[in-house]
Amino acid sequence: MSSNTSATSFLIRSLFKNRRLLIEMARRDVSDRYAGQMLGSIWAFVHPVMTISVFIFVFAVVFRVKVDDSLNIPGDHTLYMVSGIIPWLIIADVLGRGSSIISGHASLVKQVVFPVEVLPVKVVLATLPTFAIGFAGLVLYAFAVGRVSPALLLYPVAAVPLYLFLLGVAFLLSSIGVFLRDIKELVQMYALIGLYIAPIFYFMDWVPAKFRPFIYLNPVTVFIETFHDAAYYGGVRSWMVLAATAAIGLFTAWLGASVFAKLKPHFGSYL
């Protein structure tokens, strides 16, 4: 058995062994963000709702007349946008916090008995309330505009490979971030422009053919497309894309866990 496989297996066993600690830390991660504020954890609900509402106002109200006059869009464009914004909020949250989660908890990392691997995982798990709130709002909107279909049940299913991907990304960013602090700036730059280089507000058909390969170089594009399938298109358009998300998610999770397990013994020396 290779050393990478052994290290990854140990990581998985450690997470399972410390699952209660992991769940508690993820719960506290959500509540502690708003500790001391008058509304407390209610902000965990307000933030995604307000963010999505602003995007809807700008792109579905302000620009709607222009879009409707120039393009023949089948269905509800707002539903299309919201279905893409929700996973992006999750992605941006993990990217924004993942690279500094280890270096930001140096005192815990230096404790030999503390399972450091729970830190990047709890960052990912802490986004589950945002996803749940966003999905509930998406369903309510779909009911309001008469666009409910059984395919909406695929929306949470599409989240499974995305969360595997984000788990791997969190492992990678958190471990590399200990040694290369500049990675935080790169990640923040991507989080800023990534919203516009993924088909969240626009359809891939709108992109000139020669530029579409560049859009697909964005690793989150295929994931966003599966969420559009579930909420907007009413079913899976391409099983190849769905298989690609599963493959990318599994591979990234394995790669991230392998890198994290290999670098973990050296964290204390660099913090």
Question: pLDDT tens digit string along 191-234?
Answer: 888 888 899 988 888 889 888 888 988 989 999 999 999 999 98
* pLDDT of amino acid 96: 87
Ranges of residues in the chain whose predicted pLDDT is under 70? 1-8, 32-41, 43-44, 59-74, 112, 271
* pLDDT of amino acid 1: 44
Write down the pTM of the prediction: 0.87
Nearest to 89 by CA among 132, 121, 118, 120: 132
* pLDDT of amino acid 195: 83
Q: Characterize 138-153 residue by residue with b for buried, 16 or more Cβ atoms within 10 angstroms of its Cβ, and e for exposed.
A: beebbeeeebeeeebe
Q: Which two tokens stand for residue 89?
A: 């909020």
Q: Which two tokens stand for residue 113?
A: 């008995």
HEC string of 42-60?
HHHHHHHHHHHHHHHHHHH
* pLDDT of amino acid 152: 92
Q: What is the distance, to the nearest Å, from the Cα of residue 254 to the centroid of all Cα atoms in its chain? A: 17
As a whole number of angstroms, the distance between CA 174 and CA 101 comes to 6
As a whole number of angstroms, the distance between CA 58 and CA 56 comes to 6
* pLDDT of amino acid 131: 92
As a whole number of angstroms, the distance between CA 190 and CA 95 comes to 9
Amino acid at 35: A
Domain ranges for the chain, please list them. 3-270
